[in-house]
Amino acid sequence: MKIVVGSDHGGFDLKEELRRRLTEEGHEVTDVGCHGERVDYPDIARDLCAVVNGGGVDFGILCCGTGIGIGIAANKIHGIRAALCTDCYSARMAKEHNNANVITFGGRTAGVEHVWEMVKAYMAAEHLGGTHAVRVEKIHALER
Ligand code: RB5
């Protein structure tokens, strides 16, 4: 898969580890930063979502301290459906029901192994379409 990752300083270690593991598994990973420096998470969300909306990747992963702020910022951008994942069921539903194109995680709230399981649960899932696709379209109708 083609995946774009990004984080602020609060999610940096987590983002680095996810990038390492995804690359090791043969995925093509683009990294929009940060590189360990202190940054404002809306800036990273903006840069990552531009890549997602550009259409060259399958999905994006954003990490901050909690996954909350960077997800709120991402969801301000048209076309983005960012889901904060805290368990594997939600990670699967984020794809099956919500067709999330960005998943977010907290580097200060979730362990790497747990996050890795959530990433795999999301990646193994397929969007179910049907009534779920109708609801996703209604989400985007709210942008207009
Ligand atoms: C940065 O200190 C922290 O506020 C940020 O990483 C995130 O947790 C915001 O939601």
Tell me the pLDDT band of 62, cut-offs 50, 70 and 90.
very high
Which one of the listed residues 49, 64, 85, 132 is annotated catalytic?
64
pLDDT of residue 34: 98
- pLDDT surpasses 90 at 135: yes
Give the residue, by CA position, lying nearest to ligand 1 atom 10: 69
Helix (H/G/I), strand (E/B), else coil: 28: strand
Q: What is the mean pLDDT of residues 66-73?
A: 98
Distance in angstroms (rounded) separating the CA atoms of residues 105 and 26: 22
**What are the residues facing 6 on neighbouring strands?**
62
Tell me the pLDDT band of 143, cut-offs 50, 70 and 90.
very high
Looking at beta carbons, which pairs linking 81-90 to residues 24 or more positions away fall under 8 Å? 81/136, 81/139, 82/45, 85/118, 85/122, 86/110, 86/118, 87/118, 88/117, 88/118, 88/121, 89/121, 90/118
- pLDDT surpasses 90 at 53: yes
User: pTM to 2 decimals?
Assistant: 0.98
Q: Is 97 known to be catalytic?
A: yes
Residues written for the chain: 144
pLDDT of residue 144: 85
Q: Work out the mean pLDDT of the chain and round it to a whole number.
A: 98
Q: What is the mean pLDDT of residues 132-144?
A: 96
Give the residue, by CA position, lying nearest to ligand 1 atom 5: 65
pLDDT of residue 104: 99
CA 11 to ligand 1: nearest atom: 6
- pLDDT surpasses 90 at 54: yes
Ligand 1 near 12 CB (within 6 A): no
Ligand 1 near 60 CB (within 6 A): no
